[in-house]
Structures are given as C-alpha cells and as structure tokens.
Amino acid sequence: MMNNWNMKRIFCLLTILFCTLFAFNASAQEERDSPRRGEGISVFLERNKRPGRAYYKEFLELNKKLLKGKEELRLGVKYVLPPLSKPAGNGKKTINEPLFGKALASVKVTSNRLQGACFYVVSGHGGPDPGAIGRIGKIELHEDEYAYDVALRLARNLMQEGAEVRIIIQNAKDGIRDDKYLSNSKRETCMGAPIPLNQVARLRQRCAKINEFYKKDRKNYKYCRAIFLHVDSRSKSHQTDVFFYHSKSKPDSKRLAKTMKKTFESKYDKHQPNRGFTGTVSARNLYVLANTSPASVFVELGNIQNTFDQRRFVISSNRQALAKWMMEGFITDYKKAK
C-alpha cells in the first residue's frame, strides 16, 4: 500500500505533466511572427494572411502589452497572430468586415468569378474635407458621405465574388446606410491614419497606402486594380451621367475605363431603353491616376447639384445599383486580362 508521501509525489508529477502538456498544446496552436523593417500592423497582418479590420482589432487585443505606443510594431518582437477564421459549415467562405455595419458585417463568398483579383477601393475626400456639397431644400448632401457609401457597397460586392479588397478610406461607425440623407462626419481615416486637410498631402497619403499594399499583392494576385469614387459638382442645370477617367500612361487603365462605360451603357439600355447613356471616357493627368502603381480608374458618379442626378445618390437602391454595375465591369475586365 502506498504511503502518503508517495501519493503526494505522484500527484505533483501528474500536475506538472498536465500543465506542461496544456502549455505545449496552447503554444502549438498559437502562431507568432516578427515584423519586417518598415511594416505597419496592416501590412504585417496581410503578409500573414490576416487582412481586414476584424483581424486588426483582435491583434491589438492579443498584443497590447507588446506594442510600442498604441499601435506601433517593434523589430525583433514575436507577436501573437489572431487565429485564422474557418470557412462556414456549408463550405462557403464567410468574411467578417465590421466596416459594413453590424447587419452586413458577415459577407458570404458566393462566387469565385473574382478569385485571384485584388482591389483598392477609395472614396474621395473624407475626414476634414467633405468634398462637393449639394442641397435639397435646406438639407446638405456631402460628396464624401455618398461616395463612401457606394464604395462600401462596391467593396462588399467584390468580396462576395471572391476578390481580396482593401478599403482605403474608412469610417468605423457609419457602415452601409440606407438613409436618403447621409449625415456628415469627420471620422474618416486612411486605414486608421488621420486624413490631412492639405489636398496634396491627402492624395499622397492614399496613393502611398495603395502602393504599399501593391508591392506585396502583385506577387500574390494576378489582377490588381484601384478605383477612386467621387461625385462631381457643376451648375445646377447640368445633368450628367457617370463618367470615367483613366491614366494617360497605362493601357490597362484605359481598357478598364472603357469596359466600365460599356457595362453602364448595357445597363441603361436594359433598364432605361429610351433614355440612352451619355457618360464618357477620357484620359486625365489626375494625381491619383499618375501616382498609384496598379492600373486605376477614376469615377465621377454624377453632379451633386443637379436635381435628377441627386436621385442617383439619395435613393439607396440606386447606390446599390451603381456598386453592382461597377462590380460587373470589373468582372468583365478581369476576364479580358486573363
């Protein structure tokens, strides 16, 4: 019969063994990596196949004691990586993107038509700059709010088609909104960084962010494109259709702009056969087109001052249609590029 001393000894050994196995199992499941020189958190997570705001937030929570300042990585430190999300039970991948708002944050990938493609979706202005301002009675319509809502809708559509999407301008609170009149705020950031008031600094910031991603993305995706969404401001009587600008130096940019225009023409022929479509395609030496590495298209969605064009923005189903048609334009262009 065992004496008390032996029993205590066995119990201690079993406890140590259990704790060791538990710690080993936890560390085996826990992935870590060290940042490379010049990497911010977003790029670090992208390299480790963890894009998006959900992974970003989880990373901050897991590593709050290891970060320098609030959100700055240190060389030589091994950071805990958030666990990779698992595909939904039905075999369809589901993406969580809080920027779309609570109701639409869960995005089910329903197609692979854009698998292997990567997009940089940029809404114009934002932060301290509302862009053009139109009016309906006493209500102000701010360009940055409507461009941002269309940008979110487009980004979500692209994700559903299997694409990787970088939403460059972000507002953590707004989400996709169905309101007619979108309230203005100054919360927008360039992926977490404050947006400068100075125009050149603002444009340089978003181009630098795109180019930073593109250096890596071009190795992992066979098709990378950027899109800049704006709302024009002309005289109140000037009704315009959607028009597209492309880079003077990139043939892929020109082809994309022309493909977008043809897509919109076919949609107007189908939904408004007697109206026609007068949108145009032209080359412009715009800063963002000249200074982004991937081929890009610059889209003006209409005249925010014109009563008829305003319907294109204030009715949420019309904003959704704009996003859907641009997504279809990308699908067509992607097929041409293969």
The conformation of residue 322, written as its DSSP 8-state character, comes to H
The residues, ordered by sequence, that sit 6+ positions from 283 with a Cβ below 8 Å of its Cβ are 245, 246, 247, 248, 254
Q: How many angstroms separate the CA atoms of 209 and 292, rounded?
A: 9
pLDDT given for residue 88 in this prediction: 44
Q: What is the mean pLDDT of residues 126-147?
A: 95
pLDDT at 316 over 60: yes
- pLDDT tens for each residue of 207-263: 999 999 999 999 999 999 999 999 987 766 677 889 999 999 999 999 999 999 999
Choose the CATH number for 94-337 among 3.40.50.11690, 3.30.70.360, 3.40.630.40, 3.50.7.10.
Answer: 3.40.630.40
pLDDT at 16 over 80: no
Q: Which of 3-12, 199-208, 285-294 shows the lowest per-residue confidence on average (mean pLDDT)?
A: 3-12
Give the dihedral sign, CA 262/264/268/271.
positive
Asked if 130 and 146 count as a contact pair (C-beta separation under 8 A), the reply is no
Q: Which of 2-6, 26-30, 296-300 shows the lowest per-residue confidence on average (mean pLDDT)?
A: 26-30
Kindly write down the DSSP assignment for every residue of 59-79, as one continuous string. Answer: HHHHTTTTSBTTTB--TT--E
pLDDT at 159 over 70: yes
Domain boundaries, the chain: 4-80, 94-337
Q: Which of 21-25, 82-86, 261-265, 314-318 shows the lowest per-residue confidence on average (mean pLDDT)?
A: 21-25
Q: Which of 312, 268, 332 is nearest to 113 (CA)?
A: 332
pLDDT at 174 over 90: yes
Q: pLDDT tier at 23 (50, 70, 90 boundaries)?
A: very low
Instruction: Determine what percent of the chain is predicted with pLDDT higher than 90.
Output: 66
Backbone dihedral region for residue 49 (phi beyond 0: left; psi -120 to 50: alpha; all else: beta): left
pTM of the model: 0.75
pLDDT given for residue 8 in this prediction: 55
Q: Which of 55, 52, 57 is nearest to 71 (CA)?
A: 57
The residue written with tokens 């130096």 in the block is 249
pLDDT at 126 over 90: yes
Q: What is the mean pLDDT of residues 13-22?
A: 47
Q: Which of 27-31, 76-80, 101-105, 319-323 shows the lowest per-residue confidence on average (mean pLDDT)?
A: 27-31
Q: How many angstroms separate the CA atoms of 288 and 89, rounded?
A: 41
- pLDDT tens for each residue of 66-106: 887 767 888 889 999 998 875 544 456 899 999 999 999 99
pLDDT given for residue 6 in this prediction: 56
Q: Which of 84, 108, 104 is nearest to 95 (CA)?
A: 108
Q: Helix 316-337 crosses helix 251-271 at what angle (to 10 degrees)?
A: 130
Judged on CB neighbours under 10 Å (0-12, 13-18, 19+), 184 is middle
Neighbours of 309 (CB within 10 A): 23
Instruction: Determine what percent of the chain is predicted with pLDDT higher than 70.
Output: 88
Q: Which of 81, 78, 80, 61 is nearest to 70 (CA)?
A: 61
pLDDT given for residue 28 in this prediction: 40
What mean pLDDT, rounded, does the chain reach? 88
- pLDDT tens for each residue of 248-302: 999 999 999 999 999 999 998 888 887 888 899 999 999 999 999 999 999 999 8
The residues, ordered by sequence, that sit 6+ positions from 62 with a Cβ below 8 Å of its Cβ are 79, 80, 82
Q: Which of 47, 129, 48, 133 is nearest to 82 (CA)?
A: 48
The conformation of residue 100, written as its DSSP 8-state character, comes to G
pLDDT given for residue 18 in this prediction: 47
Query: Highest mean pLDDT range out of 11-15, 166-170, 233-237?
Result: 166-170
pLDDT given for residue 268 in this prediction: 87
